[in-house]
Amino acid sequence: MIAGFNVMKIVSIVGARPQFIKAAPVQRVLGEHGHQGMLVHTGQHYDDRMSKIFFSEMGIPEPDVNLGVGSGSHGVQTAAMLVGIEEVLVSEQPDWVFVYGDTNSTIAGALAACKLHFPIAHVESGLRSYNRQMPEEHNRVLTDHCADILFCPTRTAMENLARENIVRGAFLVGDTMFDAVLQFGELARERSTIIEGLELRPKAYILVTLHRPYTVDVPETLSAILETLMETGETVVFPVHPRTRKQVSLLDQAFRMRLQRSFVKLVEPVGYLDMLMLEQSSRLILTDSGGVQKEAFFFGVPCLTLRPESEWIETVDTGWNRVTGTDRDVILENVRNGDWPTSPPPRIFGDGKASEKIVETLSNWSHEDQRQ
């Protein structure tokens, strides 16, 4: 039962690598405050390079439950998660269910908890791209409308919720990914050897990540992006998501041979510390990932978002991120344009203590504050 400062049982639902990063500092602070934190991994990311390595590098205890859902269509994957999460919640009877971000694991956790009347805390609430073609956009909106407490990373996120008449229970706390970067960025510099291993010169390469259907599922779009990367004439480091690698393997063999002979280095997915090192040492980042957009901003590295929009509008408004879509000419123009901000990025994602604020807010959220 939830009662002021009592020790609480919190079930956290995660399933994809960005969620492991967001959850790590929160799990640490929950433990420091004596709360019982239970981690449920849906298995949405099941490759060890996309999952297991993150737990070991970030010092997160192995998940208490791994549902092993794996890949599948949105309906199949989400349905399997719902069944597994419901069984865990009925068995554990938590005081709170934490969900993170905007994946299928997020919406499955929110729906399961909502139907069973367990209070829901949504970390990274209030984001909107206003692109209803993105499955993530539906996940965000529905989760926010299920949640009891909504932890927002930015003022823009708070404003987005207010426009949807969600005010009660919304708190501006900052971004837990920023907490993680502050905690692990120095560790990456101490431990990672990926720059030497790939024979890179700091600030002399472009880093690329691609995984969304918009950029990788249509062969013509994917091959056009890869062609553009080759046209830059620069060293490009491209850690390839397993899903993206499958799509690359389906491209024309002659094209793939030419790609292999180019300056584009297609490498296996990397761990969190190596990724932080690649990000902070790059001169420019090209991505379709929301998390990578933010990490580029945290490190003061210019970023091109290869999508029609960005949910992290603050990174665009401050000049550190440019939304280019997949247009070859627009991408190349921005790759070659050195007119980027010279001052460090402003601290618009909090003070690095979002996790502490989340746990403090939760501890002060009394039984009377629940749904009326």
Q: What are the residue numbers of the active site? A: 211
**Rounded-to-10 torsion of CA 41, 47, 52, 58:** -90
Is 113:86 a contact under the CB 8 Å cutoff?
no
- Please state, in angstroms and as integers, the Cα–Cα distance from residue 294 to each residue in 291, 332, 359, following that order: 5, 22, 23
Distance CA 176, CA 191 (A): 22
Read off the DSSP letter of residue 100. E
Distance CA 53, CA 59 (A): 10
User: 3-state SS of the chain: helix, strand, coil percent to 5?
Assistant: 45, 15, 40
Q: Residue 83 CB: number of other CB atoms within 10 A?
A: 13
Would you give the end-to-end CA distance of the chain in angstroms? Answer: 16
